[in-house]
Amino acid sequence: MSIDRIIFAVAGLFIWMGLGLWGVTQNHLFLMIPAFVGLNMIQAAFTGFCPMAILLKKMGAQPGQAFD
């Protein structure tokens, strides 16, 4: 699995987790999780800098097209 796919999968899981926790508890602080993930994805799209991609590359994951 490439770095791109791993990042998309983890981002999707965190978004679902934050929305699920908010749905169960109705605590608005849990909405900060998907908001942070979304902001990080926007930042990575414009700058090309993604801390998770750097960690995955050091762990030996194969880069995809987005994070060479």
Please report, for residues 12, 51, 59, the alpha-carbon distance to residue 2 in angstroms, rounded to integers and kept in the order given: 16, 15, 12
Q: Based on the structure, what is the number of domains in the chain? A: 1
Tell me if 64 is assigned to some domain.
Answer: no
- % helix, strand, coil for the chain, step of 5: 75, 5, 20
Q: Which residue has the tokens 């926790």?
A: 21
- Whether the full predicted model's pTM is greater than 0.85, yes or no, is no
Q: Which domain holds residue 31?
A: 3-58
Tell me if 66 is assigned to some domain.
Answer: no
Q: With cut-offs at 50, 70 and 90, classify the pLDDT of residue 1.
A: confident
Cα-to-chain-centroid distance, residue 16: 11
Q: What percentage of the chain reaches a pLDDT higher than 90?
A: 78
Tell me if 47 is assigned to some domain.
Answer: yes
Q: Report pLDDT for 68.
A: 60
Tell me if 27 is assigned to some domain.
Answer: yes
Tell me if 67 is assigned to some domain.
Answer: no
pLDDT in tens, 3-26: 999 999 999 999 999 999 999 999
Give the lowest-confidence range in 21-30, 35-44, 58-67.
Answer: 58-67
